[in-house]
Structures are given as C-alpha cells and as structure tokens.
Amino acid sequence: MPERNVVSSWPEAERRDPAISDRHYLALRPLVEQLKEGIDVELADRSGLDVLDIGCGNKPYLPLFERVAGTYFGVDAVEGPQVDAVGVAEALPCEDASFDVILCTQVLEHVDDPRQVLSEIRRVLRPGGVVFLSTHGVFLYHPDPPTSDRDYWRWTHSGLLRIFRESGDWDQLGIQGQGNVVACLGYIVAQFTDELGQRLPGPLARGLMALVNTLSWRLDKVFPPNARVPAPGSMSANYLVTARR
C-alpha cells in the first residue's frame, strides 16, 4: 500500500466522490456508498489483508481499502502505471488462495467468458475471503477498448445470482441494485445530456447535467414504489455482488 499522504491525493478522485454534474454520477455514487458499507460490514475489525483489483486501471478505489489492506495488487489486460501484472480475468496471473479480498468493477460485461472469470476469482480467493463485483444491468453499448467489440453482457439480479452459484458454494451471497427504474433511465438520459452539453457553454452544460442527476436521484428514492430490485418490474443500470467464500 502507498503511504497515507499519497493515498489522500490518489488519482481519479472523481470516481470516489463524483460531482453532481458528472455523467456517471447515478452509478458511481451508489457504487461507492455500497462499497464503503460492504467494507465496514464484511471486513470489520480486519486489517493487513491482501487485496486484488481485477481490471484495476489506475486503482481508483484503492483509498477505500486503506484501513484494511496490507497489500493492494492490480491486474489489468493492458499495461499501466498502477498495473502490477498484465493478464486477462479468465486466467489471472496469481497463485491459488492468495487474496483475502477481490474487487472487480465494471469488468464482467467485457470478458469473453464470465463463468471462467468467477472460477478464477474462487481459485485465488482464500477461504473466508470476500468478493465485491459490480457490472451493468441496463446501459448503452460501450466496448472497451472503444475500437473493439468488447461489450458482450448485461445482467439481471437473478442472472448474477445464478452464475455465482454455478461457480461454487458461497457462505454468503448478496446483490444490490445501484438505483432502480428512475435512476436507471436517468443514467441513460445523462449520457445523451452530456453529448448535448458539449455544444453548450460550460456552466450551462454542468447545470443541465446536475438537474438530470438531482431529479433522477431524488425521484428514484420513492418511485415507482413497487418496482424495486429485486421485485418484478424493477430495473437497475448497475449491480454490486458481495460474496464470501
């Protein structure tokens, strides 16, 4: 882990504390809130843990694990300044049972074989270890890298629970929608609002985006009252799976 003063100024703070005018606010804010809660609940009173970040990029969520992590190891398919090992999620360059915590955010929709990814996660996770995995429910097509076709999968809460259960026995397995119907629709609208905003003066563009996000966030808390994840009729742009081996 980096020194505390380095962590306090860690890059990509906008992912950990998104502005209300951020086009990804409606997904990032609940993801961060749920990760913080999950760390507090699942890793309470633990420290010195070995954490693996799959698809790490610049490790934007490393500061969330500062209290509990002894090591923070990042794997990505491409090289980067914060990437410790290059490899695909279907064949992690890690030894069996070598990590206490695994984080995998917005990767599963882009991989060739989601089942193999979950098999690899179980392989490198120690007994009693915890997985935090987020992926899209309903969202725009967004291949990564952009010049590829690598955007293959979308999920429901039932589909995620099923594929996790098929990967092996888990002592605990839970799923949370990151917002419901209104937030999901608002998140999609926000992407097109951002495109429109590129043709407007900066303050006006930010104000318009903030309006979309604020209204969506507030209305999503109360409407529709009966279509909340996992009820029939529900819909979420993103999900967080928390699983303990």
Residues 23-52 have a mean pLDDT of: 97
pTM recorded for the entire structure? 0.96
pLDDT score, position 18: 98
Mean of the per-residue pLDDT values of the chain: 96
DSSP 157-224: HHHHHHHHHHT---SEEEEEESS-HHHHHHHHHHHHHHHHHTTS-HHHHHHHHHHHHHHHHHHHTTSS
pLDDT score, position 234: 97
Q: What is the per-residue pLDDT across 72-121, written as a single tens digit (0 to 9) for each?
A: 999 999 999 999 999 999 999 999 999 999 999 999 999 999 999 999 99
In a domain, 230, yes or no: yes
Q: Is residue 5 over pLDDT 80?
A: no
Confidence bin at 53 (pLDDT 50/70/90): very high
In a domain, 234, yes or no: yes
Residues 192-198 have a mean pLDDT of: 92
Backbone angles phi, psi at 101, to 5 degrees: -135, 140
Q: Is residue 4 over pLDDT 90?
A: no
In a domain, 65, yes or no: yes
Number of neighbours of residue 206 by Cβ within 10 angstroms? 16
Which residues constitute the domain of residue 43? 4-180+226-244
pLDDT score, position 206: 96
Percent of the chain with pLDDT over 90: 94
In a domain, 10, yes or no: yes
Q: What is the per-residue pLDDT across 138-187, written as a single tens digit (0 to 9) for each?
A: 999 999 999 999 999 999 999 999 999 999 999 999 999 999 999 999 99
Backbone angles phi, psi at 225, to 5 degrees: -65, -25
Residues 35-48 have a mean pLDDT of: 96
In a domain, 192, yes or no: no
Instruction: Tell me how many domains the chain contains.
Output: 1
Residues 36-63 have a mean pLDDT of: 97
In a domain, 61, yes or no: yes
In a domain, 9, yes or no: yes
Residues 192-196 have a mean pLDDT of: 94
Residues 62-75 have a mean pLDDT of: 97
In a domain, 142, yes or no: yes
Q: Is residue 3 over pLDDT 90?
A: no
User: Residue 164 maps to which CATH number?
Assistant: 3.40.50.150
Q: Residues for the chain: how many in total?
A: 245
pLDDT score, position 232: 96
